Structure 1
């Protein structure tokens, strides 16, 4: 065993968003392939068995337990109280109490990429009417949609943006109605920030920018790009702190930002030829400015609303 190899366990409840779990899991696999960690994982864990399995894993000799606990916020922290020497790194929207000293959290804090998507979408749209689909009651989704709007309006202050927020599971019939309405209003490009919407928007032959994963291979003629989340920088920070005996309770969400390589905008492929050169140049300039800390995308967690140009 290499001297710096750490033992990591991944715990992924069945009800968690598959795209988020896949991103965490795939990053851990890459670390294991490099020889940085020894990785065991538990996927599709039934909700009723979450506590039992988390306790069983915590009793074993793992250096770090990773995953997401969006449906088990209190329960996971209650288990951690009984295993205070165990280090945890979980996707979570809640701050961790100070008395839990080894319970770090993260979010897919990717609004930098959403901002860039707004720039591209505004430049690509011919009707100057964009649609966005997010998740109701999700501050992460609100951040992304507001950043998308910020980017779009920097290119065209009169751009129209129609906002749809989904509460709960996606209903195909309701989705069809919403897309029909947006098409009737003139929407010619949709930001499917809510994962799963891209399936329906592309079926309706609407240009789409996806989220978290790159869907270009599935929908090559209609998927303009995707806002990608990269968990590897967050995981690397956690592993380095474990090696240095410096792991502690903190929110590592900043490592999902563009500056740290935690998010990006997927290649535009052939669509790059349809975006005005000055818009491409603006996006490239903003990427460099964000990476060099010369520009910061606004973090706005207010409810996004439909905006109609004058």
Structure 2
């Protein structure tokens, strides 16, 4: 595919799409029902449906029976941890292998013209972004992921929280399934905005932002505190009436779903003429500019709070104006 039909590349080799990034029309005002109908397939495909299916697969083929989950025994917990790690290795690794190791589509549709493997930095373990990212993902991320999963399953198995079955509450369960992405977006925005507060950014979130040029393994490369907060979105299903299958879906949506924003390419080529949109541009701009796009665009939080950047010159101007106001406030405070 010719990526220059869809965007432009600057002198540094960075590619940007012609169309500015947008937010979903779901919460637009005034309402745009036709736009919502056109957008609706993108709500389910390709990612949301995939993560829902993985939750069902885990429930049917990976997890033990409920009676076993009433006890915290090493056997089923270790098996779950190994399966989680293997699945993540395959899923994230497939993107890494095709796009960054084999470079099957070269730099077509790649936002940043440089390759992380060619950029050494003392900010990373062994001065390697990939090694650092993988160590953080599997060293702390996957144990935390599994610990959250086990905690939720143990709570449901022992009746510590209400377990609403799909058979007895079909309408409610269906609606809750539909809002799993909305729960994620709300949780993510609030958490993300919080850890950009000065001290928390320096102590916690800066670890993730070391990957200025993110790649697949950057997705869950975070400080353990951030990993707990991010993956802990699944704990909402211990608060709201729910069931363990939906909690699994919520966890998989966060865990496996971290990759779209970090894949580094706007489109993933399938054949010479077809591709899949990564929906990565909004979050890529966050990694590039730091103080924009705290959400992923499903809910227009950033538009509402004035932190949205769509990649256009107008978006750049709004960002610079906001920086100038922030600088002026800081100077005024220092002068007192």
TM-score (norm. length: structure 2): 0.24
**Bigger helix share:** 2
**Bigger strand share:** 1
Q: Which has the higher contact order (CA 8 A, sep 6+)?
A: 2
